[in-house]
């Protein structure tokens, strides 16, 4: 009996939903006799009946609104939406802004439709009246909606004056409207609503600020608003904002403004300084090949790239660039001891690592596996050749590094896989699937995903036991593994070789040391802090590191999650 009642109730609810859907579809198919209030009521109900997440529901509703606005709303779509905007606040504060954005954005595709141009012109006055009501807090809408109304309806001062005065317009009416709006601008400035203040000033030509206002905009990081206001004020203020950008090293923004307003004569060095800063960022990320492409047309920039390589201690890159671009004379003019700052980075010798072992044949693989199986804790990392083509698949993992606190092994995966994939699979299963070895990594999910994509047919890269991602214990630390190393061990890692060619053979000694260090440092970070009472403090909470160990992962059955 209970099941029958439940089934009947479900059937009734389903019928009600279907009936409601029918009403909505019928109403939206002909808006000529549907009031704005009814339309908003139906939209709200459609939203609440929807089963998707909020963003998806709004996207679907927006498509419905776009179609409905082609179905003869009276007196026209623009006027109709303004009428809806008066009703939206009645829906409740939690939905008002979302519905407002949705409705206003739905008008965008109609602005070029010739048949509704008269309605657009007529609706401007009503929209201006709505703006005044929002400013007076008669109709509660967010400031962003106010700005969007001004932009969508292209409201001018004469529209505001007509809504404000409601009479034939003379110069005194325009002046009165501007003065009224100026009072609101001053209010927004006092309340630090700078974006809204700038929108009103630039649209209605209201001048009530000096350069101190520009400083406030920059100080509050409202850069877009600052640039709009500076452009409104003229060349002198644009020059000032460029100078302020240069003072705070915002070279990209400064360079864009110099190009936009043709001010190269006033700022002859900005473009070069920006290119230098771009090369420095690329070098810091280890993207030397990209940096070289950006610099090779300019000898000074290429010399600067060589300087960056020398500063980072990347001497094989220095030699490579000098040979390719004949820059030996420039390098000889530098004093290496003054340029290089290797002391800023953690060096392998400080970790007292006894040996780095290169493994590229089966006997070495078997020997290394036996050694690693006797370890309780190891660090694991891997490297692959970078691929700078957008949309292309990453290259196969070239090497995997496994380190204890005394010894680091670098396995040539490409050669070992080609020589004997079965032996490789067997040995790495003994390591990766061992419940007796704690395997440390940093951003492990990325490395294990890459291994699976590169060698998916090997079982050793499908299942793992006893994993600990160090990154999970220190979410507040910035700068990746290098930043964590600096925090815990007092020195960061030199990442300049991160994006070097890991498929070249033989690897340089510097590449081997870089690779070994990335794995070995994990073990040393772990040992350094494991016994400390504050180990694993994350956002003010004590974190027990053992709770972050993933005891088993099977990539063949489910996606990797930590």
Residue-wise pLDDT for 191-236, tens only, equals: 999 999 999 999 999 998 889 999 999 999 999 999 999 999 999 9
Asked if residue 441 lies in contact with residue 467, where contact means CB atoms within 8 angstroms, the answer is yes
Number of neighbouring beta carbons within 10 Å of residue 81: 26
pLDDT for the residue numbered 541: 43
Q: Could you tell me which residue, 35 or 10, shows the higher pLDDT?
A: 35
Asked if residue 514 lies in contact with residue 346, where contact means CB atoms within 8 angstroms, the answer is no
Q: How many angstroms from the chain centroid is the CA of residue 273?
A: 25
Q: Could you tell me which residue, 298 or 534, shows the higher pLDDT?
A: 298
Residue 367's alpha-carbon distances to 370, 372, 377, 409, 461, in angstroms, are 5, 9, 18, 11, 20
Alpha-carbon gap, residue 54 to 270, rounded angstroms: 45
pLDDT for the residue numbered 123: 93
Q: Could you tell me which residue, 156 or 49, shows the higher pLDDT?
A: 156
Alpha-carbon gap, residue 506 to 410, rounded angstroms: 12
Does residue 99 sit in helix, strand or coil?
Answer: helix
Residue 196's alpha-carbon distances to 145, 205, 212, 229, in angstroms, are 10, 14, 17, 11
3-state secondary structure 253-269: HHHHHHHHCCCCCCCCC
Residue 57's alpha-carbon distances to 96, 140, 141, 242, 311, in angstroms, are 15, 24, 21, 43, 53
Place of tokens 């407002």: 100
Q: H-helix or E-strand containing 218?
A: helix 211-219
Alpha-carbon gap, residue 312 to 334, rounded angstroms: 14
Q: H-helix or E-strand containing 552?
A: strand 550-554
State mean pLDDT over 366-375: 97
CA-closest candidate to residue 385, choices 484, 293, 511, 297:
511
pLDDT for the residue numbered 525: 92
Alpha-carbon gap, residue 29 to 71, rounded angstroms: 6
Alpha-carbon gap, residue 380 to 383, rounded angstroms: 11
Q: Tell me how far apart the terminal alpha carbons of the chain are, to the nearest angstrom.
A: 47
Burial class (CB in 10 A: 0-12, 13-18, 19+), 199: buried
State mean pLDDT over 319-347: 76
Residue 443 CB contacts under 8 Å (≥ 6 apart), including other chains:
469, 471, 480, 481
CA-closest candidate to residue 125, choices 95, 165, 98:
165
Residue 6 has pLDDT above 80, yes or no: no
Q: H-helix or E-strand containing 51?
A: none
pLDDT for the residue numbered 522: 95
Mean pLDDT of the chain: 86
Residue 172 has pLDDT above 60, yes or no: yes
Q: H-helix or E-strand containing 458?
A: none
Alpha-carbon gap, residue 130 to 36, rounded angstroms: 15
Q: Calculate the CA dihedral of residues 56, 57, 60, 63 and round it to 10 degrees.
A: -110
pLDDT for the residue numbered 259: 97
Alpha-carbon gap, residue 11 to 9, rounded angstroms: 5
pLDDT for the residue numbered 561: 46
Alpha-carbon gap, residue 444 to 380, rounded angstroms: 9
pLDDT for the residue numbered 56: 79
pLDDT tens, residue by residue, 471-510: 888 766 667 888 888 888 888 888 878 888 899 999 988 8
Range of weakest confidence among 47-61, 124-138, 154-168, 330-344 = 330-344
State mean pLDDT over 302-310: 92
pTM over 0.95: no
3-state secondary structure 392-417: CCCCCEEEEEEECCCEEEEEEHHHHH
Residue 539's alpha-carbon distances to 443, 482, 529, 536, 542, in angstroms, are 19, 20, 17, 10, 9
Residue 441 has pLDDT above 50, yes or no: yes
Residue 539 has pLDDT above 70, yes or no: no
For the chain, the helix, strand and coil percentages under 3-state DSSP, each to the nearest 5: 65, 10, 30
pLDDT for the residue numbered 345: 79
* The pair of three-digit structure tokens given for residue 130, joined into one six-digit string: 């709505």
Residue 17 has pLDDT above 50, yes or no: no
Task: Quickly state the pLDDT bin for 552 (edges 50, 70, 90).
Answer: low
Q: Could you tell me which residue, 53 or 490, shows the higher pLDDT?
A: 490
Alpha-carbon gap, residue 427 to 373, rounded angstroms: 10
Residue 18 has pLDDT above 60, yes or no: no
Backbone angles phi, psi at 248, to 5 degrees: -100, 15
Does residue 477 sit in helix, strand or coil?
Answer: coil
Residue 29 has pLDDT above 90, yes or no: no
State mean pLDDT over 416-434: 96
pLDDT for the residue numbered 392: 77
Alpha-carbon gap, residue 376 to 553, rounded angstroms: 19
pLDDT for the residue numbered 476: 65
Task: Quickly state the pLDDT bin for 112 (edges 50, 70, 90).
Answer: confident
In this structure, the strands spanning 463-469 and 438-441 are parallel
pLDDT for the residue numbered 93: 79
Q: How many angstroms from the chain centroid is the CA of residue 72?
A: 42
Residue 389's alpha-carbon distances to 164, 290, 372, 393, 453, in angstroms, are 57, 11, 37, 9, 18
């Amino acid at each position: 009996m209970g099941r029958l009642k439940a089934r009947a109730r479900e059937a009734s609810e389903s019928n009600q939903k279907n009936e409601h859907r029918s009403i909505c579809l019928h109403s939206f198919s002909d808006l000529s006799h549907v009031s704005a209030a009814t339309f908003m009521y139906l939209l709200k109900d459609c939203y609440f009946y929807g089963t998707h997440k909020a963003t998806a529901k709004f996207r679907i509703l927006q498509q419905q609104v776009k179609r409905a606005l082609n179905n003869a709303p009276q007196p026209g779509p623009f006027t109709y939406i303004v009428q809806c905007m008066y009703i939206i606040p009645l829906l409740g504060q939690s939905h008002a802004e979302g519905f407002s954005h949705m409705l206003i954005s739905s008008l965008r595709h109609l602005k070029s439709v010739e048949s509704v141009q008269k309605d657009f012109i007529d609706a401007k006055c009503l929209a201006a009246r709505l703006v005044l009501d929002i400013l007076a807090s008669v109709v509660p809408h967010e400031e962003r909606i106010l700005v969007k109304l001004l932009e969508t309806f292209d409201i001018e001062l004469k529209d505001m004056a007509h809504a404000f005065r409601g009479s034939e317009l003379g110069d005194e009416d325009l002046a009165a409207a501007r003065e009224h709006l100026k009072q609101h601008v001053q209010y927004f400035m006092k309340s630090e609503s700078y974006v809204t203040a700038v929108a009103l000033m630039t649209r209605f030509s209201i001048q009530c600020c000096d350069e101190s206002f520009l400083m406030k905009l920059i100080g509050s990081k409202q850069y877009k608003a600052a640039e709009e206001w500076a452009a409104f004020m003229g060349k002198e203020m644009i020059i000032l904002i460029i100078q302020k950008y240069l003072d705070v090293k915002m070279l990209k923004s400064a360079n864009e403004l110099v190009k936009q307003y043709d001010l190269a004569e006033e700022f002859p060095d900005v473009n070069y300084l920006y290119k230098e800063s771009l090369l420095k960022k690329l070098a810091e990320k280890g993207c030397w090949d990209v940096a070289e492409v950006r610099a090779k047309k300019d000898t000074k920039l290429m010399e600067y790239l060589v300087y960056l390589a020398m500063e980072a201690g990347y001497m094989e890159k220095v030699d490579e660039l000098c040979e390719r671009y004949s820059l030996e004379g420039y390098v000889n003019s530098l004093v290496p001891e003054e340029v290089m700052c290797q002391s800023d980075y953690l060096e392998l010798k400080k970790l007292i690592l006894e040996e780095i072992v290169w493994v590229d044949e089966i006997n070495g693989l078997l020997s290394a596996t036996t050694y690693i199986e006797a370890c309780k804790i190891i660090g694991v990392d891997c490297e692959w050749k970078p691929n700078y083509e957008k949309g292309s698949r990453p290259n196969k993992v070239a090497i995997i590094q496994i380190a204890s606190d005394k010894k680091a092994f670098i396995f040539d995966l490409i050669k070992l896989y080609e020589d004997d994939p079965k032996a490789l699979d067997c040995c790495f299963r003994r390591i990766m699937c061992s419940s007796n070895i704690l395997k440390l990594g940093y951003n492990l999910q990325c490395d294990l995903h890459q291994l699976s994509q590169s060698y998916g047919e090997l079982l050793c890269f499908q299942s793992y036991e006893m994993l600990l991602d160090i990154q999970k214990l220190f979410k507040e630390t910035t700068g990746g593994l290098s930043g964590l190393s600096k925090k815990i061990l007092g020195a960061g890692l030199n990442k300049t070789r991160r994006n070097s060619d890991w498929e070249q053979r033989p690897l340089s000694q510097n590449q081997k040391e870089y690779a070994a260090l990335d794995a070995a440092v994990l073990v040393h970070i772990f040992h350094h802090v494991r016994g400390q009472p504050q180990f694993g403090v994350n956002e003010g909470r004590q974190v027990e590191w053992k709770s972050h160990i993933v005891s088993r992962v099977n990539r063949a059955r489910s996606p990797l999650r930590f």
